[in-house]
Structure 1
Amino acid sequence: MTHKPHLYIIAAMSENHVIGQDNRLPWHLPDEWKHFRKVTDGKTFLTGRKSFEAPDALHSSYRNVVLTRNPNQEKQADIEYAMDLDSGIALLKDENEVFVLGGASVFEQALPLVEKLYLTIVHTTVEGDAFFPKLDWDEWNLISSEYHEADVHHQYAFSMNLYTRKTIMEK
């Protein structure tokens, strides 16, 4: 039996599910970035190519698997390429925890497989061209939520939430 890593999604979305505009985040939230770094430090990232190449993308200092239709990219020390989600997960069979960083289509493909959602809700509605997939909230338990007020460094208030997938018994 092959080992499969625990898959987690980490993302930030507006109240209208926007996660991006022109391959950038539509907000600047320094304390949310700190949270992201704390949660993902030393972990493996699984991401789509456009998200990986975004100007404001964060990369794992440990290991990055990038999904691309052209996996014959130049090899680099901490970057590997895979054609699709299944082959990306197969590359990561020896990892314990893997964070899925998007974009929208990668989130949609990975959502049925993930055990946890680290999902920041930015308390605003914004224009965007990339959206987080619709969630069936009946499948998720809210484990923790940390609210952050808008302030001089944060244009919008936001809540950093952790959800775990409900077991069959809980549904």
Structure 2
Amino acid sequence: MIINMKMQLYIIAAMSENHVIGLNNSLPWHLPDEWTHFRKVTAGKAFMMGRKSFEAPDALHSEYRNVIITAHPPAQAEPHVEYAKDISEAIALLSDETDVFILGGASIFQQMLPLAQRMYLTIIHAQVEGDAYFPAFDPNDWHLASSEFHDTDDAHAYSFSMNLYVRKQPE
């Protein structure tokens, strides 16, 4: 797999303390301020995700460009949507982009984790039930560049931290 040197791959996800990212193809929480953060960070950027993540009822789509990884693309694509059969093809389709956000699901995160330069990873401060999990990663490979804590309030049942991790350069 060849990645153009100007392309930066960023994982963006929210997970519970027990690494849950989904339940029945939806998020197991509702955090409006986290969604606002997501929109601000990803505005005008290209997204890469698996088909189930794209079709999730609470999925966010790029108004600019979405590349969906699936073995069974529909006959007619929606506006701003392209399909790729695997990650290599998705990266090739996005080769002219400088910033690409990887939105999941679990298997896409697993495959893209070694290639990502940054992770915008929100940690939900709770143990929740789910059926999709963010992959384990070595924290020694990452530098926590920033963290913003958000407490519970009337609109947020869980407290959470919006973290930015930057991959450490090899020494």
- TM-score bucket (shorter structure): over 0.9
Structure 2 counterparts to residues 9-88 of structure 1, below 5 A:
9-71=11-73, 73-88=75-90
For the residues of structure 2 that align with 1:71 and 1:65, how far apart are their CA atoms?
11
Matched to 1:165, the amino acid is R
Shift of 1:40: 0.2
Identical-residue share of aligned pairs (%): 62
Q: Secondary structure at the residue paired with 1:124?
A: coil
Deviating runs (4+, > 6 A) in structure 1? none
Runs of 5+ consecutive residues of structure 1 not aligned to the other structure = none
Shift of 1:2: 7.0
TM (normalized to structure 2)?
A: 0.96
**Closer/same/farther in 2, CA of residues 2 and 101 from structure 1, 3 Å limit:** closer
Contact 2:3–2:91 under 8 Å retained in 1: no
For the residues of structure 2 that align with 1:127 and 1:101, how far apart are their CA atoms?
20
Contact 1:15–1:125 under 8 Å retained in 2: yes
For the residues of structure 1 that align with 2:123 and 2:108, how far apart are their CA atoms?
19
Match for 1:137 among 139, 149, 152?
139
Q: Secondary structure at the residue paired with 2:59?
A: coil
Shift of 1:72: 5.1
For the residues of structure 1 that align with 2:51 and 2:3, how far apart are their CA atoms?
26
Residues 58-96 of structure 1, C-alpha deviations (whole Å, 9 max, x = no match): 000000000001135412320000001111001000000
- How many aligned residue pairs are there? 169
Q: Secondary structure at the residue paired with 1:102?
A: coil
Matched to 1:151, the amino acid is D
Contact 1:16–1:126 under 8 Å retained in 2: yes
Query: How big is the alpha-carbon RMSD for the aligned residues of Structure 1 and Structure 2?
Result: 1.2
For the residues of structure 2 that align with 1:37 and 1:134, how far apart are their CA atoms?
25
Runs of 5+ consecutive residues of structure 2 not aligned to the other structure = none
**Closer/same/farther in 2, CA of residues 75 and 22 from structure 1, 3 Å limit:** same
